[in-house]
Structure 1
């Protein structure tokens, strides 16, 4: 069946990789003649790009899938992505879902939809999920054009070989698979023609890029991207600390377009907890990495993810984490309360920490993060920074918002249109709503 004239909506849950894959599916549907609509509008096809990183993410995925059928019983409801991959048995029992498409099958979305909708009168639920653990092929998805023209997420890698004890992702995404460098460069070059100036290089375990290719690494790829004249900014997604070496930092510091924003995925600041998590570094490693970054860049933004209330985390272990994070003085911390994820080793670890203790520990670190963020931004008041203007500020005439290379959120007054321009500004004042006020 031809999809020409059909209406489709996509809801995206989860990480930047999911956002990239949604952008690719959006383009595939438009190319097939499908009209893309807001998820609140009536549609013939409703796709949820699901997340499986926590039980809560799976619950939200199910809620989104159910919502579509309630609005329109005739809509074709499609579950794609990580939860579709690891939860196919559970989803297959759900009569609200018509299609289940796992990872490494999203590239076949149009063919699967055409086949299913062509047989709709007699079609039963269809499951398109492969054994991803044994699939060595990188799923070839491409983004041709974006709704947003300033910043683009570029997926260069899929899968993970780490098997952290709390994480389901290796089972949802399979082993490390890298995208060919020439494909990445071609996609970025094309997107610059549509106005994109900043590129966020991302993957499930992006620092593993090239390990399956043999003759290329992530830093090699970044250097090639930096040679494209229209690329004004290169930003990295979440980094494993092992990526930070003297050689890597030397090479990054020579790239004019590189944004000195390092999101180091720590998870804990206590060595005994890191060991139970099956993380492959120590707090001393992190200490040295932070010092090395600050030696290579004048005002780098160091951010991280932290899990509180991991199974068995004692008050003493949490206090170790708190003191360590105070010491390394990060710009911002994303704090997550540990939640049990069925199918992982940590789900069976004892004792599990109660929710009240998790909430208390989370609040302590969030307050610290707020304070560190304010201190980092205060130090830069009066400095001249380049800001990539992204959009007009909602409800404020002549105010624009954007980010510095360090990812400081900036608000700026201008009577001239500034969308998608890089402007030099002076940082003036920290506002209460998370922005720093600047002036040209």
Structure 2
């Protein structure tokens, strides 16, 4: 009997990429391939690329090198955002055999008939206008949490962003499909689902290939709250202008949605927000945070922010710093602006020197540590529910409460993928909340 071919996957970038890699992996398994870890010898290595990180090309080359070290005769395929934006560049990397753009990546098994190495990567990419159909995905990275894709693409024209060029127009999964996927996930014993997409607050647009909203994001949230067997649902990143009060109020009374929001701000300066072509001003952001605090004082609120955008003066940056310092938020994800080809911002005047960008980034990262510590301290003495994850890290098992406080306790394999009500009592030196003992009996 012929031995099954082995395939391994490596994902760069966001939760959405992870959910899509899992779907592509299941396609391979349906075609009779064996999935193995990327650290193992495989016949095919598939790399799902990202265009957002500054060193996208460098990271990609390192991953290809790693694959070639494991098996220099392996077939290497690149898919994802970077593969759509710079296919020829990736095809020229030593060892790459196949590059697939946005519409082709889900049909990858159709392209892999002959596994012999190519001198130059073969490119199959589309004009991004052709990426107008929707492929549902979900990932099961570990036994605890799954990323469920509900939406893809973006119609926004933020001046720094290549995602619309890499993923096409905003379009959504049919509500029935999302609910079926959520149900499938719950049957596998997974306790938490994280909703993901490029612009998930835009859910409903482009369903079935049209621009009419069949359902809203609120409809989606309400329907998912009814799915049997799911303990927790978490909204990942959602634009402030699309996070409506009705959604915030629904989450505050929901059976499964947790009090955790991640809301991109990008700048606390209205002048810079306008240059970025964001669809809100800082006043809207303040309203959203105040509304969440009003109905869920214990909620965790994460913020994305970009430093060093063209034209960002010291005054603009201090506006952002002071705005965030005064705001009742829980942590920051700080991005240092980096130029992207074919974006408006790359042509703008007022380029901020890299050393200034780095200094600003460091200041905001320091603020994030302070904010997270203050948030954790505000939770000491409260009872929360923790979901433990599956990794033994230096003798400890870690987990997160519903409001995203990181908790650790001495390793006990019986705790993996279990929920426990605990009292948050003290913060350890590493910043997480430490529990001496958790009773395994639930």
| Residue number in structure 1 paired with 2:210 | none
Alpha-carbon distance, 1:200 to partner: 0.3
Per-residue CA deviation, residues 315-370 of structure 1 (Å, 9 max, x unaligned), is 11111111101111311001111111111111111221112111111111111111
The 1-side partners of 2:3 and 2:214 are apart by: 43
Matched, 1:433 2:433: no
Q: 1:200 aligns with which of 174, 194, 201?
A: 194
The 2-side partners of 1:283 and 1:162 are apart by: 18
Of stretches 405-414 and 316-325 in structure 1, the one that deviates more from structure 2 is 405-414
Alpha-carbon distance, 1:299 to partner: 0.7
Of stretches 62-71 and 369-378 in structure 1, the one that deviates more from structure 2 is 62-71
Alpha-carbon distance, 1:185 to partner: 0.9
The 1-side partners of 2:92 and 2:49 are apart by: 17
The 2-side partners of 1:79 and 1:140 are apart by: 20
Per-residue CA deviation, residues 26-80 of structure 1 (Å, 9 max, x unaligned), is 2222232222222222221111100111441233123322442355332111000
Consecutive unaligned residues in structure 2, runs of 5 or more? 208-212
Alpha-carbon distance, 1:142 to partner: 5.8
| Residue number in structure 2 paired with 1:50 | 49
Alpha-carbon distance, 1:148 to partner: 1.4
Of stretches 216-225 and 151-160 in structure 1, the one that deviates more from structure 2 is 216-225
Give me the TM-score of the superposition, normalised by structure 2.
0.93
Is contact 1:54–1:341 with CA below 8 Å preserved after alignment? no
Alpha-carbon distance, 1:420 to partner: 1.1
The 5-angstrom pairing of residues 75-154 of structure 1 reads: 75-113=74-112, 115-117=113-115, 120=116, 125-141=121-137, 146-154=140-148
Alpha-carbon distance, 1:391 to partner: 2.3
Is contact 2:406–2:433 with CA below 8 Å preserved after alignment? yes
Alpha-carbon distance, 1:379 to partner: 1.1
The 2-side partners of 1:54 and 1:422 are apart by: 34
Matched, 1:165 2:159: yes
Per-residue CA deviation, residues 130-179 of structure 1 (Å, 9 max, x unaligned), is 22224321124466xx3512110000110001111110100000000101
| Residues 74 and 384 of structure 1, relative CA distance in 2, 3 Å threshold | same
Of stretches 49-58 and 59-68 in structure 1, the one that deviates more from structure 2 is 59-68
Q: How many residues align?
A: 432
Is contact 1:104–1:139 with CA below 8 Å preserved after alignment? no
Secondary structure at 2:234 match in 1:
strand
Of stretches 64-73 and 130-139 in structure 1, the one that deviates more from structure 2 is 64-73
| Residues 413 and 43 of structure 1, relative CA distance in 2, 3 Å threshold | closer
The 5-angstrom pairing of residues 220-235 of structure 1 reads: 220-235=219-234
Q: 1:211 aligns with which of 185, 205, 219?
A: 205
| Residue number in structure 2 paired with 1:273 | 272
Matched, 1:420 2:414: no
Q: 2:407 aligns with which of 387, 407, 410?
A: 410
Give me the TM-score of the superposition, normalised by structure 1.
0.93
The 2-side partners of 1:54 and 1:183 are apart by: 31
Alpha-carbon distance, 1:246 to partner: 2.3
Alpha-carbon distance, 1:4 to partner: 6.0
The 2-side partners of 1:219 and 1:363 are apart by: 37
Alpha-carbon distance, 1:416 to partner: 7.8
Alpha-carbon distance, 1:415 to partner: 5.9
Is contact 1:20–1:153 with CA below 8 Å preserved after alignment? yes
Is contact 2:13–2:50 with CA below 8 Å preserved after alignment? yes
Consecutive unaligned residues in structure 1, runs of 5 or more? none
Is contact 1:14–1:57 with CA below 8 Å preserved after alignment? no
| Residue number in structure 2 paired with 1:400 | 397
The 2-side partners of 1:415 and 1:38 are apart by: 25
Alpha-carbon distance, 1:191 to partner: 1.4
The 1-side partners of 2:129 and 2:317 are apart by: 35
Is contact 1:3–1:34 with CA below 8 Å preserved after alignment? no
Matched, 1:29 2:28: yes
| Residue number in structure 2 paired with 1:350 | 349
Is contact 1:4–1:32 with CA below 8 Å preserved after alignment? no
Q: 1:189 aligns with which of 176, 183, 187?
A: 183
| Residue number in structure 1 paired with 2:372 | 373
Secondary structure at 2:241 match in 1:
helix
Is contact 1:81–1:101 with CA below 8 Å preserved after alignment? yes
Is contact 2:40–2:70 with CA below 8 Å preserved after alignment? no
Secondary structure at 2:393 match in 1:
coil
| Residues 283 and 4 of structure 1, relative CA distance in 2, 3 Å threshold | farther
Is contact 1:142–1:187 with CA below 8 Å preserved after alignment? yes
Is contact 2:88–2:123 with CA below 8 Å preserved after alignment? no
